[in-house]
Amino acid sequence: MKSPKIVLLGPPGAGKGTQGSLISGYFEIAHITTGNALRINRDLKTEYGTPRSYMDRGELVPDSIVNEIVEVEIKKVGGFVLDGYPRNKEQAEYLSTIAEIDKVIYLHVANEELIKRLSGRRVCPSCSENYHIEFRPPVRNGKCDSCGDKLIQRSDDEKDTILNRLRVFSEYTKPVLEYYNNREGFTKVEGRDNPEDVWESIRNIF
């Protein structure tokens, strides 16, 4: 498969970032992450307010902002893996007007495990590398292995916001699974295992 166009779906904490990077490296395609793009632009003033005002509550940023980010990024590249988009049915319908998707991969992880993963997650503000206080601690306490910067907890990884993000996933993103479910190229992958095993399952799809 040359320069595929892939959508990676899954609840927050399912491992989309990790698997998205692996897919992107494997096919040498762009890794387009709406969450990262929005974090970089979180204080951008738009007619709907700033992205931050939605993200800090775990709510979805309005479609028109996110659709534009994705369209601009997609137009710059051939193949891509989309991570964190589409997150509702309207975004999925919009995506179908700007790209033909080859594969949709749904990473499934149960809520109990997601809460454990998200509440212990720490990230590097400089290079976006992910850690976990228990499952993947950095070599030097609180410091990024790649660039040495001080790790932080994302403000939306606090308990109440995590619960809201999981609720938003059930309410808005589950309909996206139904949208793709009966189409060719849709595969559900069990994301509970360690990242190497999950990657093995994903590679087998291709």
Q: Interface with ligand AMP includes 85 (CB under 6 A)? A: yes
Is 203 a residue of the active site? no
Helix (H) or strand (E) holding 103: strand 103-108
Q: Interface with ligand AMP includes 22 (CB under 6 A)? A: no
Pair 60, 168: CB distance under 8 Å? yes
Residue 74, Cβ neighbours under 10 Å: how many?
18
Extract the tokens encoding 196. Answer: 């190497």
Residues 161-190 that bind ligand AMP (CB under 6 A): 165
| Of the candidate residues 10, 12, 20, 191, the single one contacting ligand AMP (CB under 6 A) | 12
Given strand 103-108, what is the order of strands in its sheet?
Answer: 30-33, 80-83, 5-9, 103-108, 186-190
Q: Interface with ligand AMP includes 54 (CB under 6 A)? A: yes
Active-site residue (options: 5, 103, 122, 165): 165
Considering only 30-38, 73-81, 100-108, 135-143, which stretch makes contact with ligand AMP by CB under 6 A?
30-38
Pair 61, 55: CB distance under 8 Å? yes
Residues that bind ligand AMP (CB under 6 A): 12, 34-35, 38, 54-55, 58-61, 66, 84-85, 87, 91, 156, 165
